[in-house]
Amino acid sequence: MLSQTLQYLFSGLTNGAIYALAALGFSIIYNASGVINFAQGEFIMIGGVSAVMLTSAGVPMPLAILLAVLIAALVGLLLEKLAIEPAGNAEVVSLIIITIGASIFLQGLAQVIFGKGQKALAPFTGDTPIMVAGASLLPQSLWMMGTGAVIVLLLAWFFGRTRLGKAMLATAHNRLAARLVGINTRHVLAVSFVLSAALGAVAGVVSAPITFTSYDVGIMLGLKGFVAATLGGLGSGLGAVVGGLILGLMESLAAGYISSAYKDAVPFVLIILILFFMPRGLFGARVTERV
């Protein structure tokens, strides 16, 4: 009994780490621009897919990972420059549709380049499960959780201690004021996309050995990342992480104790419940509109 619960816990935390990284990506872009980037999931996909293609082409794993992240970062930058900036001050609805269009475009591109099949990346340190109190834990899961933790710490340092990070936070709070003190907010926007893309790619790379990757893996991951971000409170870094972990755990427990067929429905039921009852999420900020 305990071992089963522990098993669900492990898989929940493992998936939760990915959702947390996706959620962070959403929050970073949302903070910098108020845009919800529906293409966030595609960054995850690009990371995984690129890594698979590069390693199959013979590139050594560490280099492949680095290149995969760089490719995603480049895509993020292009997305911002070519799709978001030209839209200017478009309405929220328009921006949502643009990012959805970008998401479909990137999927189409991936489908052409990568094909329709699913492929797995080789696990980083082998695939012999580690037994913990009767539950099995894959080494790759530890990689996922560990990478997630390291990234969260790096981001905390970045936003808390570096000038660029603080500039990004300032832009999130009040764009006009940030510009008035000399922060280049367009620059901040570009960096936010690059950063989110890199985050997504890392998540994609580190999860590809377990979850398999394919051209359409981004949709679900992106949506779940959004649910996690909303649960934690859009724009809150802590919220993103907490939201991601909670979502992962709830999915896992629901699959185990309720029904595995509706496992994928959990995030969507959750998002509707959150939006109905506490739209600001756990750690979201209170906003009053000035008239």
Partner 1 sequence: MQRYRGLMVLALIIALLPLALPNNYYYDVAIRIGLNATVVVGLNLLIGYAGQISLGHAGFFGLGGYASAILTTRYGWPPLAAMLTGMAAVGVIAFVVARPILRLRGHYLAMATLGLGIIIFMVLGNESSWTGGNDGMSVPPFALLGVTLASERTWYWVTGAVLLAAILLANNIVDSPMGRALRAVHGSEIAAQVAGVDTVRYKVRIFVVSAVFASAVGSMMAHYVGFITPQVSSFFHSIELVTMVVVGGMASTYGAVLGAAILTTLPQLLSRFEGYEMIVFGLILMLTVIFLPRGLLPTIAARLRKAG
When the beta carbons of 206 and 240 are compared against partner 1, the nearer one is 240
Neighbours of 220 (CB within 10 A): 13
Give Cβ neighbours of residue 216 (< 8 Å, ≥ 6 apart): 45, 107, 111
> Could you write out the DSSP letters of every residue in 181-250?
TT--HHHHHHHHHHHHHHHHHHHHHHHHHHH-B-TTHHHHHHHHHHHHHHHH-TT-HHHHHHHHHHHHHH
Q: How far is the CB of 270 from partner 1 (least distance, A)?
A: 8
- SS in 3 state form for 125-154? CCCCCEEECCEEECHHHHHHHHHHHHHHHH
- Which residues in 98-157 contact partner 1 (CB under 8 A)? 98, 100-109, 111-112
Q: Which stretch binds partner 1 (CB under 8 A): 94-102, 171-179, 194-202, 239-247?
A: 94-102
Contact by Cβ (8 Å): 64, 77: no
- What minimum distance in Å lies between the beta carbon of 26 and partner 1? 10
Would the CA dihedral through 34, 39, 45, 46 be positive or negative?
negative
Q: Which stretch binds partner 1 (CB under 8 A): 46-54, 157-165, 243-251, 274-282?
A: 274-282
Instruction: Phi first, then psi: give them for residue 83, nearest 5 degrees.
Output: -115, -40
Site for partner 1 in 15-54 (CB under 8 A): 36
Which residue, 209 or 284, has its beta carbon nearer to partner 1?
A: 284
Q: Which is nearer to partner 1, 112 or 130 (CB)?
A: 112
Smallest gap from residue 171 Cβ to partner 1 (A): 19
Q: Does 268 bind partner 1 (CB under 8 A)?
A: yes
By C-alpha distance, which of 106, 138, 108 is closest to 124?
Answer: 138
Among 7, 11, 141, 230, binds partner 1 (CB under 8 A): 230
| Of the candidate residues 93, 176, 180, 181, the single one contacting partner 1 (CB under 8 A) | 93
CA–CA distance, 183 with 170 (Å, rounded to integer)? 9
User: What DSSP character marks residue 264?
Assistant: G
Near partner 1 by CB under 8 A: residue from 60, 86, 117, 182: 86
Dihedral in degrees, nearest 10, Cα atoms 243, 247, 248, 252: 160
CB of 24 to partner 1, least distance (A): 17
Comparison of 86 and 117: residue with beta carbon closer to partner 1:
86
Task: Tell me if 176 contacts partner 1 by CB under 8 A.
Answer: no
What is the Cα–Cα distance from 14 to 115, expressed in whole angstroms? 27
Q: At its nearest, how many Å lie between partner 1 and the CB of residue 99? A: 9
Does 275 contact partner 1 by CB under 8 A?
yes
Among the residue ranges 16-24, 125-133, 166-174, 219-227, the one whose residues contact partner 1 (CB under 8 A): 219-227
- When asked if residue 265 is in the footprint of partner 1 (CB under 8 A), the reply is yes
Q: Which residue, 209 or 267, is less far from partner 1 as judged by CB?
A: 267
Enumerate binding residues for partner 1 (CB under 8 A): 36, 83, 86-87, 90-94, 96-98, 100-109, 111-112, 219, 223, 226-227, 230, 261-262, 264-265, 267-269, 271-272, 275-276, 279, 291
